[in-house]
């Protein structure tokens, strides 16, 4: 599929990562909230994973299942469509976010309803569904607690699993007090920042919406091709309400969320909860297959979303990002995310996975997308914790190469223009000079000797655009003798020196 790609409208026009991160890094409250939350989750995850003696095997199995599925995605998607249809559902194909939004808006309008309840869904945030529904007079209510906080606070999500991770309890109390009344049942009088009181206020606020809504909208963590079953895992039970109470259920799911069989689910239902919430299993695992008379929604629609995924799949290195099961473990260990927060990534997908997924789904034409492959120290902590072994540093370097080269994004002929990020012109000149020197051994040797003999005259910091780099690093001293000269002197010219 191809077509124009839609980004979450709430993130449109975001500045490049360094600029956006600068604001976050200078916010001590935000830094404190992020540090506390990520360190707590990462420690619990490590304990939960350490309980399993076969974690490495599970990780490899998850990787293999996802790779196999992606290799045969066309076949499994057709199988899924047939299974869902047989079970009483209707499948819609959306090449991009605009098409998906149009389909969902039409389906809701056909029910005659002007309100929908939503279970947390990254795919619908990716395409800006709430805003598209609002444009046609339909109000979407987020029901995941963290998403509710984000929606009431007119905010943007900043974490995959905990979208309001940047908020502390006092801030949440203030948001509930000032905003709940405009969306429905107001916050109770005298609401404090005690977690039980905040949870109860949200429960009462949401309960009336669940009981009233006739249309529910969801995403899915997995889709099983062999039976057409969709799976949502969550911790609160609000998702279960959205999935079972409304008369019509519309699920918007990225095409990469498919697994071939129920047996494959076994692996991910072990690795996902331990990696995300550090639980042995999710408190709520909801599964539904089409429709069933007298049980749950009477109409079920599945909107299969591409929105750049086919292009990502066409890239041999970058396609591994499609293995992601959105556990958020990579965010919680990332030193850059911990300081910059999620908003700086300019997308619903923050952190290390966002840094490799957004520039592939959207291309690198915007300032923020061209800067994301650089939003990493390449320390590799993300790769170590990833339950499907996505080599995020490898993809980051691959995408940096593309940004610098300004080459095409896709290999299927659809040209996506990549613009080199600001300041990369100097890097390109430096790389060309290095290529020239390394392909001429005589010139390289002469240059090394000149550098050695003049080493006491070398500046301690780089001039021009290199100044920012050397401001926080020591330039390595040039040795008095190059390796080649040392080799020739001590080994009597056996190879090496030319
Ligand atoms: S990249 Fe790996 S660690 Fe990060 S969210 Fe996806 S599955 Fe989890």
pLDDT in tens, 152-165: 999 888 888 888 88
Give pLDDT, residue 472: 66
Instruction: Please tell me the distance from the alpha carbon of residue 329 to that of residue 45, in angstroms, as a whole number.
Output: 8
Give pLDDT, residue 137: 97
What is the pLDDT averaged over residues 243-256?
Answer: 97
Give pLDDT, residue 409: 45
For residue 457, pLDDT beyond 50 = yes
Strand order in the sheet with 229-234: 258-259, 222-224, 229-234, 284-289
Measured from the CB, is residue 326 less than 6 Å from ligand 1? yes
For residue 301, pLDDT beyond 90 = yes
For residue 432, pLDDT beyond 90 = no
For residue 11, pLDDT beyond 70 = no
Give pLDDT, residue 240: 94
- CA 418 to each of CA 241, 396, 426: distance values in angstroms, whole numbers, following the listed order: 43, 15, 17
pLDDT, tens only, 95-147: 999 999 999 999 999 999 999 999 989 999 999 999 999 999 999 999 999 99
Give pLDDT, residue 12: 61
Name residues whose C-beta falls within 8 Å of residue 294's C-beta, 6 or more positions apart in sequence. none
Q: Which residue has the higher pLDDT, 398 or 26?
A: 398
Instruction: Look at the alpha carbons of 156, 159, 161, 165 in this order and tell me if their dihedral is positive or negative.
Output: negative
Can you state the angle between helices 28-50 and 17-25, rounded to 10 degrees?
100
For residue 9, pLDDT beyond 80 = no
What residue owns the CA closest to ligand 1's atom 8? 327
Q: Which residues pair with 141 in a beta bridge?
A: 117
- CA 7 to each of CA 15, 230, 447, 450, 476: distance values in angstroms, whole numbers, following the listed order: 14, 24, 49, 52, 42
Measured from the CB, is residue 353 less than 6 Å from ligand 1? yes
Q: Which atom of ligand 1 is nearest to the CA of 329?
A: 3
Determine the residue of 328, 354, 395 to mutate for testing ligand 1's pocket, defined as the one with the most ligand atoms within 8 A of the Cβ atom: 328
Q: Per-residue DSSP letters for 49-105?
A: HHT-TTHHHHHHHHHHHHHHHHHTHHHHHHHHHHHHHHTT-EEEEESSHHHHHHHHH
For residue 371, pLDDT beyond 50 = yes
Instruction: Please tell me the distance from the alpha carbon of residue 155 to that of residue 32, in angstroms, as a whole number.
Output: 19
For residue 7, pLDDT beyond 50 = no
Give pLDDT, residue 416: 46
- CA 227 to each of CA 41, 302, 317: distance values in angstroms, whole numbers, following the listed order: 34, 14, 31
Q: Which residues of 117-151 are buried (b: 16+ CB within 10 A; e: fewer)?
A: bbbbbbbbbbbbbbebbeeeebebbbbbbbbbbbb
Whole-model pTM above 0.85?
Answer: no
Give pLDDT, residue 424: 59
Determine the residue of 66, 161, 320, 324 to mutate for testing ligand 1's pocket, defined as the one with the most ligand atoms within 8 A of the Cβ atom: 324
Q: Which residue has the higher pLDDT, 474 or 6?
A: 474
- Asked if residues 17 and 340 have their Cβ atoms less than 8 Å apart, the reply is yes
Instruction: Please tell me the distance from the alpha carbon of residue 94 to that of residue 99, in angstroms, as a whole number.
Output: 5
Mean pLDDT, all residues of the chain: 89
Distance of CA 407 to the CA centre of its chain: 23
Of the candidates 325, 267, 263, 311, the one whose C-alpha atom is nearest the C-alpha of residue 410 is 311
What residue owns the CA closest to ligand 1's atom 6? 324
Measured from the CB, is residue 321 less than 6 Å from ligand 1? no
Distance separating the N- and C-terminal Cα atoms of the chain: 53
In the chain, what percentage of residues exceed pLDDT 70?
Answer: 92
Give pLDDT, residue 156: 87
Give pLDDT, residue 469: 72
For residue 6, pLDDT beyond 60 = no
pLDDT, tens only, 194-209: 999 999 999 999 999 9
Determine the residue of 257, 267, 325, 332 to mutate for testing ligand 1's pocket, defined as the one with the most ligand atoms within 8 A of the Cβ atom: 325
Q: Which atom of ligand 1 is nearest to the CA of 351?
A: 4
| Three-class SS of 89-136 | CEEEEECCHHHHHHHHHHHHHHHCCCEEEECCCHHHHHCCHHHHHHHC
Q: Which residue has the higher pLDDT, 260 or 493?
A: 260
pLDDT, tens only, 167-196: 889 999 999 999 999 999 999 999 999 999
Measured from the CB, is residue 330 less than 6 Å from ligand 1? yes
Give pLDDT, residue 493: 57
- The Cβ of residue 195 has, within 10 Å, a number of other Cβ atoms equal to 10
Q: Which atom of ligand 1 is nearest to the CA of 353?
A: 1
What is the pLDDT averaged over residues 450-465?
Answer: 82
Among the residue ranges 5-19, 52-66, 280-294, 334-348, the one predicted with the least confidence is 5-19
Q: Which residue has the higher pLDDT, 27 or 357?
A: 357
For residue 239, pLDDT beyond 80 = yes
Give the domains, in start order, of the chain with CATH numbers. 73-309 (3.40.50.10420), 425-491 (no CATH)
Measured from the CB, is residue 328 less than 6 Å from ligand 1? yes
Helix (H, G, I), strand (E, B) or coil at 305: strand
For residue 273, pLDDT beyond 70 = yes
């Amino acid at each position: 599929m191809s077509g124009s790609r839609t980004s979450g409208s709430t993130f449109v026009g975001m500045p490049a990562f360094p600029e956006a991160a600068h604001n976050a890094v200078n916010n001590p409250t935000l830094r404190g909230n992020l540090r506390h939350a990520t360190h707590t989750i990462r420690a619990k995850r490590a304990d939960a994973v350490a309980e399993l003696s076969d974690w490495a095997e599970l990780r490899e199995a998850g990787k293999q299942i996802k790779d196999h599925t992606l290799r045969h995605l066309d076949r499994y998607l057709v199988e899924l469509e047939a299974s869902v249809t047989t079970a009483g559902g209707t499948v819609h194909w959306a090449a991009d976010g605009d098409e998906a939004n149009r389909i969902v808006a039409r389906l809701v309008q056909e029910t005659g309803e002007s309100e929908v309840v939503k279970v947390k869904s990254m795919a619908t945030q990716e395409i800006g569904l709430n805003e598209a529904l609002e444009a046609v007079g339909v109000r979407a209510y987020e029901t995941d607690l963290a998403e509710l906080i984000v929606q009431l606070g007119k905010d943007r999500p900043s974490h995959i699993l905990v979208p309001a991770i940047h908020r502390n309890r006092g801030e949440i109390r203030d948001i509930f007090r000032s905003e709940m009344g405009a969306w429905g049942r107001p916050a109770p009088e005298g609401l404090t920042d005690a977690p039980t009181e905040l949870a109860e206020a949200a429960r009462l606020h949401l309960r009336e919406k669940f009981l009233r809504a006739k249309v529910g909208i969801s995403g899915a963590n997995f889709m099983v091709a062999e039976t057409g079953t969709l799976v949502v895992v969550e911790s609160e039970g609000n998702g279960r309400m959205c999935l079972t109470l409304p008369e019509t259920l519309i699920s918007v799911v990225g095409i990469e969320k498919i697994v071939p069989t129920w047996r494959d689910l076994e692996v991910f239902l072990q690795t996902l909860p331990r990696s995300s919430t550090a639980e042995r299993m999710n408190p709520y695992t909801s599964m539904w297959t089409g429709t069933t008379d007298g049980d749950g929604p009477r109409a079920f629609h599945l909107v299969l979303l591409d929105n750049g995924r086919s292009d990502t799949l066409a890239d041999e290195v970058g396609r591994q990002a499609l293995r992601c099961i959105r556990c958020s473990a990579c965010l919680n260990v990332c030193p850059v995310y911990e300081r910059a927060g999620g908003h700086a990534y300019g997308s619903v997908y923050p952190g290390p996975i966002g840094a490799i997924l957004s520039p592939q789904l959207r291309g690198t034409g915007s300032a923020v997308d061209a800067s994301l492959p650089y939003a990493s120290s390449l320390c590799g902590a993300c790769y170590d914790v990833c339950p499907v072994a996505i080599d995020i540093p490898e993809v980051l370097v691959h995408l940096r190469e593309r940004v610098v080269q300004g080459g095409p994004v896709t290999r299927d002929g659809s040209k996506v223009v990549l613009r080199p990020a600001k300041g990369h012109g100097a890097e390109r000149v430096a790389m060309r000079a290095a290529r020239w020197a390394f392909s001429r051994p005589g010139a390289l040797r002469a240059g090394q000797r000149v550098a050695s003999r003049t080493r006491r005259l070398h500046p301690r910091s780089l001039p021009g655009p290199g100044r920012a780099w050397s401001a926080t690093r020591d330039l390595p001293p040039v040795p008095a003798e190059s390796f080649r000269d040392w080799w020739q002197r001590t080994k009597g010219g056996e190879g090496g020196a030319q």
